[in-house]
Amino acid sequence: MADYTINATLREKTGKGENRRMRRAGMIPAIIYGGEKADLPIILNQNAINKLLDQEHFFTTMIDINIEGKSGSETVILKDSQWCPMYDTATHLDFLRVNASDSVHLEVPVVAINSEKAPGIVAGGMIDLIRHTLEVTCRADSIPEHIEIDCSTLNIGDTVHIDDITLPDGVEVHHEVNFTILNLAALKVAKSEESEEASA
């Protein structure tokens, strides 16, 4: 079952010029594809969709799109988004058709938790997040909102690799190298002060 329902209208014209005109009119062009069906170019209300794009969960869940004049809805996930670098607003969205049981591949945010309890933080260190997202494979109806990394036992110099974490049931991260996700590093300011004292 989808967590969000949004409304859209079919987009009759395409092209860069038409897309710019729609954006000036307060609309966002988008497309629905996949599922062995024809692509559907659509238009979304910019104000309504911007509120949803501010919610992290919107990027990692199933969405029902009701299209004006079309019976039924399209169940999708947000597969890709394009943004304006100047105004940090979405300029185009790509939605992939899914069924609940489909296996999907997408990026999920990494969240460091319990860092305030870490001995390394108490000693003046800081969390250095190397991977802000992980590309996961899972069912469309079981996409985790984020992947939590428990940092409560970390000391300065400790590193967390992909093989060190327990993923939610049914979620996989395919990898050939045991890559680093985060580490607990000493503050650069502290290192700089130590260097100055050593020089003196």
**pLDDT tens over the chain, length 200 residues:** 689 999 999 988 777 777 788 888 889 999 999 988 999 999 999 999 999 999 999 999 999 999 998 878 999 999 999 988 887 888 999 999 999 999 999 999 999 999 999 999 999 999 999 999 999 999 999 999 999 999 999 999 999 999 999 999 999 999 999 999 999 999 865 445 555 555 54
Are 155 and 83 part of one and the same domain?
no
Residue type at 48?
Answer: A
Could you tell me the residue range of the domain that residue 53 belongs to? 4-98
Give which of 51, 49, 50, 62 is closest to 3, Cα–Cα. Answer: 62
Per-residue DSSP letter, 172: B
Contact between residue 68 and residue 9 where contact means Cβ atoms under 8 Å apart: yes
Are 109 and 94 part of one and the same domain?
no
Are 81 and 159 part of one and the same domain?
no
Are 42 and 24 part of one and the same domain?
yes
Q: What is the 3-state secondary structure (H, E, C) of 27-55?
A: EEEEEEECCCCCCEEEEEEHHHHHHHHCC
Q: Which two tokens stand for residue 180?
A: 């680093």
Look at residues 70, 98, 126 and tell me which one is the last residue of a structural domain. Answer: 98
CATH of the domain at 86: 2.40.240.10
> CA dihedral in degrees (51, 43, 74, 88; nearest 10)?
-40
Question: For residues 44 and 22, what is the distance between their CA atoms, to the nearest angstrom?
Answer: 10
Tally of CB atoms within 10 A around 165 = 16
Are 116 and 30 part of one and the same domain?
no
Are 20 and 88 part of one and the same domain?
yes
Q: Which two tokens stand for residue 70?
A: 């079309």
Are 120 and 194 part of one and the same domain?
yes
pLDDT of residue 62: 96
Residue type at 158?
Answer: D
Question: For residues 14 and 11, what is the distance between their CA atoms, to the nearest angstrom?
Answer: 7
pLDDT of residue 196: 55
CATH of the domain at 160: 2.170.120.20
Look at residues 83, 98, 113 and tell me which one is the last residue of a structural domain. Answer: 98
Which residues, 6 or more positions from 87, have their beta carbon under 8 angstroms from its beta carbon? none
Q: Which two tokens stand for residue 89?
A: 């607003």
Q: How many independent structural domains does the chain possess?
A: 2
Are 89 and 44 part of one and the same domain?
yes
Question: For residues 146 and 178, what is the distance between their CA atoms, to the nearest angstrom?
Answer: 20
Predicted structure pTM score? 0.83
Are 33 and 64 part of one and the same domain?
yes
